[in-house]
Structure 1
């Protein structure tokens, strides 16, 4: 797998003679590196070998620098801004940017904004466009990395907000998803040595460009009338109103069959016998790739108790074609209907 990253650091600011973000980024800019990484269940990888090429620049610590990257993002697969947090002891992966300016010191142009906005018409908060669950999970057990919800109110936050705001307003995408963008605050090298930070940063880059692969299981329940069970996603769920097969994500250290038994108990209050696997479907949702294994299930006349869905319905083959199924399920349902549910 090959990918291109736009990477930035910052010039020294305030009383700092050097800026570790500038030193770290300058070691990588203009290089092409192959990174070998391992998947960390429950998320899979598109590739364990990633060839990354880095372009970018060192930003001035002022308003001009905060928007410098915006004209360079159309031909890259991810953007990562790196800045110094002088008080940090760990590498901080910033999950959001705030539409606020509130400087405790002047930037390098002499600007010292208090209680201002980055964009008067912008949203108050913007989240990273990287796939947060898989990135957070990959580094959750790393003692040198922490997840942060506060990027500050200085030029680091301003830079991050301008980038995320530009991606949202321009609809900028990479491989069918919003261009992944993340801000990384690094500590002084006295806290974590430069080479160690570089190693962790390289792993982050290799992960952020990938679409995580999520292993999912679905239960095809059929009754004595040759109807299958369809469940509609509730209003508080992603893609609400769509119909699906009951089931869910396979957790780490869990077999697909054990996962399906757990999910059907959690979602419908059922204790099931899982039968044969019917088919495995792979669907690209843009932000992630879902790999769904469908199994037949027997429930022996148990009463359904829907817990997460707002409706469950037994449907015939002809009725199934009229439902608004999740995109990943559509063609699978059509194939089942063509064969006839009695063949399950």
Structure 2
């Protein structure tokens, strides 16, 4: 059975403890309700390295779907990103000291690409569990948007998308982990019949 991939990011800028790093590590090796395994992995906060590391994970694990996650320092709820922009505008340098501004993620690709996660099913699951959430049409222009666009552009047939989570100061990591686990369960339940 193909696994479901959940990724997070490590520390960057003023975010000394990125909840998505903890969540990806905690979920790695766990199993969903139907026995499907979660592969959790942490991507580097590096424009040069993150896309290649994501590609390597996809090649190694051939997941049924990909749930990319990152922290939004201003968020007070889970943000289900609906689209990735083919544009980079870093407000701070990545962890390699690189700032990319006014560049495309992939030259010649579409201006924006939509999430292919089953957002309605995810929203229903979060609503039933009383998890605060909303759709967002702006994933930023930093690493989160970069890997989101890269995934959708290079693997258009693979269900995938991005979820921003609040910082640790706003949501305890256990609460956020439960929410992302729900996202994974809802994604799997919606997609699994197609992939049996």
- Confirm or deny a common fold (TM above 0.5): yes
Residue 53 of structure 1 corresponds to 37
Distance 1:123 1:152 in 2: 17
More strand as a share of residues: 1
Cα RMSD (Å)? 2.2
Distance 1:193 1:67 in 2: 31
Q: Which structure carries more relative contact order (alpha carbon 8 Å, separation 6+)?
A: 2
User: Secondary structure of 2:155's partner?
Assistant: helix
Matches within 5 A, 1:241-260: none
Residue-by-residue CA offset, 1:203-230 (whole Å, 9 max, x unaligned) = 11011123379xxxxxxxxxxxxxxxxx
Q: 1:209 to 1:143 in 2, by over 3 A?
A: closer
Distance 2:26 2:190 in 1: 26
Matches within 5 A, 1:324-335: none
Residue 17 of structure 2 corresponds to 18
Residue 73 of structure 2 corresponds to 86
Distance 1:52 1:82 in 2: 19
User: Secondary structure of 1:73's partner?
Assistant: helix
Residue 266 of structure 1 corresponds to none
Residue-by-residue CA offset, 1:12-50 (whole Å, 9 max, x unaligned) = 001222211111111111x23243xxxxxxxxxxxxxx3
Q: Is residue 57 of structure 2 the alignment partner of residue 72 of structure 1?
A: yes
Residue 161 of structure 2 corresponds to 182
Distance 1:66 1:19 in 2: 19
Residue 154 of structure 2 corresponds to 166
Distance 2:150 2:191 in 1: 26
Q: Is the 8 A contact 2:131 2:179 kept in 1?
A: no
Distance 1:17 1:204 in 2: 25
Distance 2:96 2:114 in 1: 28
Matches within 5 A, 1:81-160: 81-140=68-127, 142-160=130-148
Q: Is the 8 A contact 1:94 1:183 kept in 2?
A: yes
Tell which structure's C-alpha radius of gyration is larger: 1
How far did 1:109 drift?
Answer: 1.1
Q: TM-score, normalised by structure 2?
A: 0.87
More helix as a share of residues: 2
Distance 1:111 1:120 in 2: 19
